[in-house]
Amino acid sequence: MPPRPLLGRLLVVLALLLSGAAESAAQLEAPHEPTRPGTYDPLQGMEPSGRIPRVPLPTELPNPERWRYIPEGRIKPGNVFERFLVSSFVAPQFFFEQAVGAGGGIALTDIDFRGERRREFLGAFFSYTTEGQQKYRLIWRRWLHHEDLPGGGVILEERSFLDAAGGYQKTLTRRFFGLEDWIG
């Protein structure tokens, strides 16, 4: 192939790439606004890249460095299944240890438990192994200081919360005799 047509094609590709980069840079300048009022928009309150911009906090907040902003796009309405991969998650667990065998389990988390705009968290963790080791755990957390912002989204104070956890575990133990020989 002659070098001239190849050079022309490279210039066209370069021009297209540069125009796309300029468009992307222009989109990063302002936070994303919803397309239709009243509908859920996953980018509301965020930039198109997913970056969460700094928002002005109310002036009367004590210790403003402890407050965290959650944009409206991260607060999806609906039940646990409708909010899947936005504020509720499922994660499988697989592991192997010589003393307990092969094991597996599942972790279920919901960071908008009971639909209170990210005020409560619930996590359930279950695992079982081939040798009979079992572990079941439930964790709940509720943030005490939580406020809706007029422009959308919420802020919460990260250090004030109530926690409750409980569970059951049946562990398999392995005896260790090496420390006694080392001391004596």
pLDDT band at 164 (very low <50, low <70, confident <90, very high): very high
The two three-digit tokens of residue 128, written as one number: 């079982």
What is the per-residue pLDDT for 16?
A: 58
Who has greater pLDDT, 115 or 166? 166
Rounded-to-integer distance, Cα 138 and Cα 12, Å: 58
Rounded-to-integer distance, Cα 107 and Cα 122, Å: 11
Q: What integer best gives the mean pLDDT of the chain?
A: 81
Residue 69: strand pairing partners: 155
Which among 120, 141, 117, 145 is positioned nearest to 45, based on CA atoms? 117
Rounded-to-integer distance, Cα 35 and Cα 29, Å: 17
Residue 181 has pLDDT above 60, yes or no: no
Residue 11 has pLDDT above 70, yes or no: no
For 7, 51, 103, 117, 180, the CA distances from 35, given in Å and listed in that order, are 41, 18, 47, 21, 70
Contact 169, 139 (CB under 8 A): no
Residue 178 has pLDDT above 80, yes or no: no
Residue extents of the structural domains in the chain: 52-183
pLDDT band at 4 (very low <50, low <70, confident <90, very high): low
| Mean pLDDT (whole number) for 6-21 | 62
What's the pLDDT tens digit per position in 65-76?
899 998 988 888
Residue 27 has pLDDT above 50, yes or no: no
What is the per-residue pLDDT for 28?
A: 44
Residue 138 has pLDDT above 90, yes or no: yes
Whole-prediction pTM: 0.66
What's the pLDDT tens digit per position in 61-120?
888 889 999 898 888 888 888 888 888 999 999 999 888 899 999 999 998 888 888 889
DSSP 90-159: EEEEEEEETTTEEEEEEEEEETTGGGSSS-EEEEEEEEEETTS-EEEEEEEEEES-EEE-TTS-EEEETT
Helix (H, G, I), strand (E, B) or coil at 73: helix
